[in-house]
Structure 1
Amino acid sequence: MSFYISLNGLKNSQTDLGVIANNIANAETNGFKKSRTDFGDVVAATALTNPKMVQGIGATVESITQNFELGPIEQTGGSLDLAITGDGFFTTVSQDTGKTYYTRNGAFKMDQNGFVQDGSGNVLQSFPVDANGNPTSTTPQDTQIPATNAAGAEFASVAVGVDGTITASYADGSTMAIGNVTLASFLSPEGLKKVGSANWEVSGISGTAKYGSPGTGQYGTLLSGNLERSNVDIAEELVGLITAQRNFQANAKAIDTATQISQTIINLRT
């Protein structure tokens, strides 16, 4: 039995090492959220087993839990670089598949058609607004900035307020409210499904998205000209790496010891 207990220990340590390695690899990924490996002991016994004689049969990986604490905020100066000060997520929709994604990476830019999107072609969602910038609907839509205004003046610049209002400026000095950035929150964000590029999808564990505007509830306000960096602490991960390596070595040593005991028994002479 000791062979299998230690073998499971090796696999668990390998999983832990993989999670830590992934954290370290994404230390420079904007909006990335680190994970940790949670273990649980395994016990098997029957109703007739003396509770004072119950022996554990190893450990198992119970979950790989995501940590959504706020990462460091870095100033960039880009008007469409956005950071969230609260618990909200940006909402984007893929132009190719129509799928909805949620992200903390606010590095957005305009494409040739005026759509505000991330580096993967997912369009930022916002609430439609009136001329004063007040939301007129709670249904998110694609954020698109017109190349010219009603007078035919060409687009000059764009600004995003702390309340999420997107305002475009034009060459004739006029401004136009484009939309109000849509933020999403979840009952259990740890249950969101990773899909890569610092994006998540909803799952049965996370629950459905609840939409709102920046500056309301726990969504947080927006900081234009800033980006949220990865929340990975390299020093913390290196300490965890050493611990996981020691655990792996200890389990390997346990297998080696069990092998030597078995070999001693086999070599016994009667």
Structure 2
Amino acid sequence: MSFNTSISGLNAAQKDLNVTSNNIANAKSTGFKKSRAEFGDIYAVSAFGNSKTSVGQGVINQAVTQQFTQGNLDFTDRSLDLAISGEGFFAFQPSLDSAESVFSRAGALGVNKDGYLVNQAGEFLKGLPTDAEGNSVSTSLATADPVRLPAEAGEPRATTTATQLFNLPSEAEGLPVSAFNWNDPETYTQANSQRVFDSLGNPHTLTSYFVKDAGQDNTWRVYYQFDNEDPVNFGSNTHGIDTDGDSTADVTVGYQMLRFDGNGSLTDADGNLLSYGSGVPGTSMDPENPTLTLASPGTGAEDLSVQMRISRNSTQYAAGFNIGDQGQDGYTTGQLTGVSVGSDGLIRASYSNGQNQALGKVALVDFRNPQALKQVGNNQWIETVDSGEPLAGEAGTGTFGAIQGGALETSNVDLTAELVNLITAQRNFQANSRAIEANKALSDTIIGIR
């Protein structure tokens, strides 16, 4: 029996050496989780045996369990490298037509020829569906699909709102109404241009001409022009312009009135429906938000309807003309320029026109008993009966950790501890070998008795 006991010790030491060697070999494997060999003694006593004098019969390997402790984060500055800081696994789909999933902590991703996000084994990253704002629609793994980058260009958007915040110089010289001519800088105080977009993404220039009124204190006229065409004709505030010098008005233009109080604050702005080319009559609008309806000439796009919002914080002070802020909500066609992943797992595609598109959220999965997961290689696991079903969710919610973009989780192997354990296993092996040697010497002595 002593031989069998020592042999079981040799086997246990060998198993310990194998596990330790595997840990050391995978010290640089991304997302690898070290294992630990666990042992128990063999102790058999019959129903009528005397346990006080019984001797154990050796050792047995009870299990090799993985240790799912957090590995360090190695920052790579590559946007498609992902790491989980906390609990959870990435979910991958082996093929597009597969109903199975494999799970991993390794998040070194790339893009395949069809635009899908895949790992180094070519398996497809699964993402939870989201709405246009990036909010999750479902957190069920059954609704998660492979994440694919859009092949098409970013769609354009027609401008619907343009804004201006400015200061008009109070000391500017007033000009008569009939004097304005957009081709003569001497007939207006200041001009400001901003870019707007039609429904096909074509850029157009919307120019505002500011003229201080000579007939009324603290009052300004604003004329609007689309591209290089005649200024917009709108509303009841109109007058003719002689553009060819024959003393005859051949162009009729409209204007918006801005009125300031003695403190330089904007108090009133006549709002009108401004039209270009389409002949839409002027109508009274919200004084703070006059709307310009502009036909889009020569592009084939739909007519623009732009709400011109002049900020109530606009002023008339004794200072130079200044545009404090301006903006508009349209944009042209965009090309895909990059992909980023937030700490909540939201995957966004970025376009050259400055827009972003939500593609989904990285699906994270956890298990009630992760140590019962079955290893399948490539630092991946699949579920088993003992592990329980996968529980899916969003990063940063519940027990799920946050996602760190531009980083990879390194192996959680501690090389110093493994080398010490290697020495211990070696000593155990040697000690059991010596026990076998001693048993053999005793056996030889007995056999040699004459």
TM over 0.5: yes
| Whole-angstrom CA distance in 1 between matches of 2:76 and 2:152 | 27
Q: Could you say which residue in structure 1 is the equivalent of 2:424?
A: 243
Instruction: Report whether the alignment pairs 1:119 with 2:120.
Output: yes
Unaligned runs of 5+ in 1: none
Q: What count of residue pairs does the alignment treat as equivalent?
A: 269
Letter in 2 for 1:114: G
Unaligned runs of 5+ in 2: 156-332
| Whole-angstrom CA distance in 1 between matches of 2:52 and 2:380 | 49
| Whole-angstrom CA distance in 2 between matches of 1:96 and 1:13 | 44
CA contact (8 A) 2:16 2:37 kept: yes
Deviations 1:204-258 (A, max 9, x none): 1211100000010111111101110000000000000000000000111111110
Q: Whose helix fraction is larger, Structure 1's or Structure 2's?
A: 1
CA contact (8 A) 2:96 2:146 kept: no
Q: Could you say which residue in structure 1 is the equivalent of 2:193?
A: none
Deviations 1:178-229 (A, max 9, x none): 0011000000011111111111110112111000000101111111011100
Q: Aligned ranges for residues 39-78 of structure 1 at < 5 Å? A: 39-78=39-78
| Whole-angstrom CA distance in 2 between matches of 1:23 and 1:160 | 31
Q: Aligned ranges for residues 186-205 of structure 1 at < 5 Å? A: 186-205=367-386
Instruction: Report whether the alignment pairs 1:144 with 2:123.
Output: no
| Whole-angstrom CA distance in 1 between matches of 2:377 and 2:66 | 14
CA contact (8 A) 1:75 1:226 kept: yes
Q: CA deviation at 1:167?
A: 0.3
| Whole-angstrom CA distance in 2 between matches of 1:176 and 1:241 | 51
CA contact (8 A) 1:127 1:141 kept: yes
CA contact (8 A) 1:108 1:117 kept: yes
CA contact (8 A) 1:147 1:154 kept: no
Q: Could you say which residue in structure 2 is the equivalent of 1:30?
A: 30
Q: CA RMSD in A?
A: 1.2
CA contact (8 A) 1:73 1:227 kept: yes
Q: CA deviation at 1:96?
A: 7.1
Q: Taking structure 2 as the reference length, what is the TM-score of the superposition?
A: 0.59
Instruction: Report whether the alignment pairs 1:231 with 2:235.
Output: no
| Whole-angstrom CA distance in 1 between matches of 2:418 and 2:97 | 36
Q: Could you say which residue in structure 1 is the equivalent of 2:81?
A: 81
Structure showing greater Rg: 2
Higher normalized contact order (CA 8 Å, seq sep 6+, divided by chain length) = 1
Q: Could you say which residue in structure 1 is the equivalent of 2:16?
A: 16
Instruction: Report whether the alignment pairs 1:221 with 2:222.
Output: no
| Whole-angstrom CA distance in 2 between matches of 1:60 and 1:247 | 14
Q: Could you say which residue in structure 1 is the equivalent of 2:279?
A: none
CA contact (8 A) 2:154 2:335 kept: no
User: Once superposed, which parts of structure 1, at least 4 consecutive aligned residues long, lie more than 3 Å away?
Assistant: none
Q: CA deviation at 1:148?
A: 2.3
| Whole-angstrom CA distance in 1 between matches of 2:132 and 2:419 | 52
Letter in 1 for 2:151: A
